Amino acid sequence: MCIVYVVLVLYMRAGWMKLPVIKTKLVDVHSSVSVIIAARNEEQNIGRTLDCLMAQDFPKELLEIIVIDDHSTDRTGEIISSYADRGVKLIQLDEGSKLNSYKKFAIAKAIDASEGEIIITTDADCRMGPQWLSTIVHFMEANDLYMVSSPVSYNEEKSYFERLQTLEFLYLIGLGAAGIGNGNPTTCNGANLAYRKSVFFEMGGFKGIDDLASGDDELLLHKVAEKYADRIGFCKAQEAMVYTDAKENLAAFINQRRRWASKSTKYKDKRVVVLGVSIWLFNLALVANVLCFCWADLDAQKLILLSVLMKIGVELAFLYPVLRFAGRRALLFNLPMLSVLHSVYLVYIGILGNVGKYDWKGRSVK
């Protein structure tokens, strides 16, 4: 299993390297854009995100911003309303407790009300630079793409735990980009995702995946990839980066990753399933071997140590160019620690993410 994991990660590294780094320059864009944010109890963050959107170097006549207030019990709606004179549109949900996937419902409702040719989703706790929109839209137009995934990173970390999360998160973002580079899109992040509205409707929107709370990004990517894998791109540009925050504690981190893992039950592409199962089995075997290390004979101990070193080594080979692109190479010093902990949590989340319910924004969902 160790050899399989090494080959898989090297294959993904090749996919990342196939993607050219985009050098941004002043460009003209022609497509109208609707930026959509689903927000629930985000009074601490939504103002900062909207300020970033107000500062975009993008033609105002082509830009529409829609924020959906998902039953917030704080001042989120009030703060959004204060931006109405600057063109921000507010939609307030009043659906009670009858849904499992409020976020997909919110996004779909906003898309129905939108005027833009291109939909770009982000989250209520995100920050972006002034060339974010123009970079992504120009990349989409220049390459005649139907869907574009773009980089997301944590920043402003306050602890060692948050720095470990940043390293792990960039690994996931890199894997998503690498899949697109290899022509087999597998993952993306809804905090920085663009797609043509016409393609969203052609795919039937979220129909067929709307019974799951999560998956407004990744499962939609899979739907589009079934027909248009060659029209999906990754915007590998610093200016296209969106920044958000790591989780403050272990409980919040586990809950988030459990939510992300819950999407795996809906994967239709068997290649993605095989990839995920292979990685999970490798980590399960590695954890089991490490736990048995003290009772193993010398030869077995050497093989266990070799497996751990091979895992760290191949992850270093993959992460180095990803972190160089993100400007976070200093995080590589944390890789040995993360690599060991990563195996433990992957095994745990792989099981937990596919059973029972989890908490998301104060709701118990599945």
| % pLDDT > 70, the chain | 91
What CA–CA distance (Å, rounded) separates 72 from 34? 22
Confidence at 269, pLDDT banded by 50, 70, 90: low
Is the separation of the CB atoms in 49 and 124 below 8 Å? yes
Six token digits for residue 159: 């602890």
Q: For the chain, what is the mean pLDDT?
A: 89
pLDDT (tens digit per residue) in 139-174: 999 999 999 999 999 998 999 999 999 999 999 999
Residue 264 has pLDDT above 70, yes or no: no
Which CATH superfamily is 20-266 part of? Spore Coat Polysaccharide Biosynthesis Protein SpsA; Chain A (3.90.550.10)
pLDDT (tens digit per residue) in 7-42: 889 999 999 999 999 887 767 889 999 999 999 999
Check residue 270 and give its pLDDT: 64
Cβ count within 10 A of residue 363: 16
pLDDT (tens digit per residue) in 131-140: 999 999 999 9
Check residue 360 and give its pLDDT: 55
What CA–CA distance (Å, rounded) separates 102 from 71? 10
- Give whole-number Cα distances, 240 to 62, 141, 244, in Å: 18, 15, 13
What CA–CA distance (Å, rounded) separates 300 from 174? 33
Cα 150 to chain centroid distance, Å, stands at: 9
Written as one string, the DSSP assignment of 120-131 is EEEETT-EE-TT
Instruction: Give which of 102, 92, 144, 140 is closest to 120, Cα–Cα.
Output: 140
Check residue 40 and give its pLDDT: 93
Check residue 54 and give its pLDDT: 96
Instruction: Say what the pTM is.
Output: 0.90
Instruction: Give which of 104, 117, 118, 109 is closest to 194, Cα–Cα.
Output: 118
pLDDT (tens digit per residue) in 87-123: 999 999 987 666 667 889 899 999 999 999 999 999 9
Check residue 195 and give its pLDDT: 97
Residue 366 has pLDDT above 60, yes or no: no
Rg, Å, the chain Cα set: 21
Confidence at 277, pLDDT banded by 50, 70, 90: confident
pLDDT (tens digit per residue) in 60-93: 999 999 999 988 999 999 999 999 999 999 999 9
Q: Report domain extents, the chain.
A: 2-9+270-349, 20-266
- Scored b (16 or more CB within 10 A) or e, 168-182 reads bbbbebbbbbbbbbb
Over range 178-196, report the average pLDDT.
95
Residue 358 has pLDDT above 60, yes or no: no
